[in-house]
Amino acid sequence: MKKEDLRIVYMGTPEFAVEPLRCLVEGGYNIVGVITMPDKPAGRGHKVQFSPVKQYALEHDLPLLQPERLKDEAFVEALRAWNADLQIVVAFRMLPEVVWNMPRLGTFNLHASLLPQYRGAAPINWAVINGDTETGITTFFLKHEIDTGEVIQQVRVPIADTDNVGIVHDKLMMLGGRLVTETVDAILADTVKSVPQEEMAIVGELRPAPKIFKDTCRIDWNQPVKRIYDFIRGLSPYPAAWTELVQSDGTAVVLKIFETEKIEHLHESAPGTLQTDGKTYIRIAGTDGWIGVRALQLPGKKRLKTDELLRGFKLTGECRVH
């Protein structure tokens, strides 16, 4: 079978899922339908916002479904009518068996980790938060338990000590487009030799990648500087690590912190102690050194470099964060 004859249904929602879809469309693969999340209101005006995948599908006149429930009979029938040979899932949601088991060639997923490591919703964030020096992408066939199916292909990617999650996300996104098309080609050529995850060699313990909530993003200053540094870059630029700044007069304000540096300098200050010259620098104590804050944001304001923020926001007396 030629790629032009292979009927593919594509499922995805965020920006990460657009690049593989673009590669398939521009590569001449036959996308017979796209499935994405329902529209939802966003921002202060609650303006309805299309997902990046929906935006791309509309721009390229691709048939589109946005089911509320994936087990809904009307949706299942509409999906069946597309008569897909293969389904591809990238950053979507957990599929019921009636959906993933429908096409004759199966359903494969692109996951942003080296499975079986980092099964879950936020693999890129957790790899950076944990200070890993390597991550990657994996294509695998779907089965019942989430992110546990047989692995088709993997690509490994180094993580530099200066990379934040945005940088790693973009690296994996671009490689993901290529890996998805390579995986489709291997399935078409019948050269896939998928490997059960339980047979794959693992270094160290398996780490999960649970969904990240606001409370997850609060900085714990009672840790070594390296852990704090990795935590902040693992959440930058989004959703952003935060802390509460308490000034000497008792007023408190939430600070989002985006960019930092490690300052290895032993001290006797309590973790969370903040030091500044009021003009050019802010540094905050960890257990074994200082975190130099390079970029941060006040509520309702834009992200600024530290010296820019200090020109308009005066820190007085002894300050602490917690």
Known binding residue 315? Answer is no
Distance between CA atoms of residues 264 and 152, nearest Å: 43
Give bridge partners of residue 191 from the DSSP assignment: none
Q: What angle do CA 8, 119, 123 make, to 5 degrees?
A: 90
Q: What token pair was written down for 298?
A: 């006040």
Q: Write the CB contacts of 111 (distance below 8 Å, at least 6 apart in sequence).
A: 119, 123, 137, 138, 139, 140, 147
Look-up of token digits 């007085």 = 316
CA separation, residue 96 to residues 7, 23, 68, 70, 150 (Å): 20, 27, 13, 7, 17
Q: What token pair was written down for 138?
A: 């994996």
Contact by Cβ (8 Å): 139, 95: no
Q: For the purposes of burial, counting CB atoms within 10 Å of the CB of 120, is it exposed (0-12), middle (13-18) or buried (19 or more)?
A: middle
Distance between CA atoms of residues 201 and 27, nearest Å: 34
Distance between CA atoms of residues 142 and 140, nearest Å: 6
Known binding residue 115? Answer is yes
Q: According to DSSP H, which parts of the chain are helical?
A: 18-26, 52-59, 73-81, 97-100, 123-129, 165-188, 225-233, 306-312
Known binding residue 255? Answer is no
10 Å Cβ neighbour count for 12? 28
CA atoms within 13 A on the CB side of 230: 18
Q: Which residues are annotated as a binding site for (6S)-5,6,7,8-tetrahydrofolate?
A: 113-116
- Binding residues, by number, are 113-116
